[in-house]
Structure 1
Amino acid sequence: MTLTANVPTTNASRYLQQLCKHWSHKFETEFDAQKGRIAFPMGSIRMAAEAETLTVTIEPEEGADIERFKQVLADHLDRFAFREAPLSFDWR
């Protein structure tokens, strides 16, 4: 199962990089200014930054608490995006 959300923001690249740097101390991460990946025990997150949108895709492991996974991601992104939080996630 894969879930994707398009998060409207003009700071997508900045948030992507902040999130990856933040979690790089605990988890395997790969990122540049346009894309990133974080490997969590419960699954992985992929992100892509565009001018007006941060596209976030989660790929949970079988048995993972998907709602918790989405909430952890949203909470951390909102912390970095405090000036425009809460960000809007349209999961599909």
Structure 2
Amino acid sequence: MSDTEPQWRHICEVCGVEEILTPGDAFNLGWDYPPRMGQFGVVGPRCCPNCPNVGTVWWALAVDGYTEDMLTEAQRVTVRRITGEPQSIAVPGD
């Protein structure tokens, strides 16, 4: 773990697993998460190394052609979390 990078909650939107990691550690472990993969506040895959991005909100919107009214409540919660990043994934006290 890096002493200079902040730690954030990394939440897999496919399986729900949650880990507190630095961006560098998350990238090295295979997470699809900003800032190394994608950009904070922009809908993109947020998934762990064990899950495919075909189950993400990004996939539903970009590939399957969903519109906002077609999203499930869980997907809408994910969009709200993404648009609130990095504050929405901040680790208290970090």
Larger radius of gyration: 2
Q: Shorter-normalised TM-score: what interval?
A: under 0.3
Q: Normalising by structure 2, report the TM-score.
A: 0.27
The structure whose RCO (Cα within 8 Å, separation 6+) is larger is 1
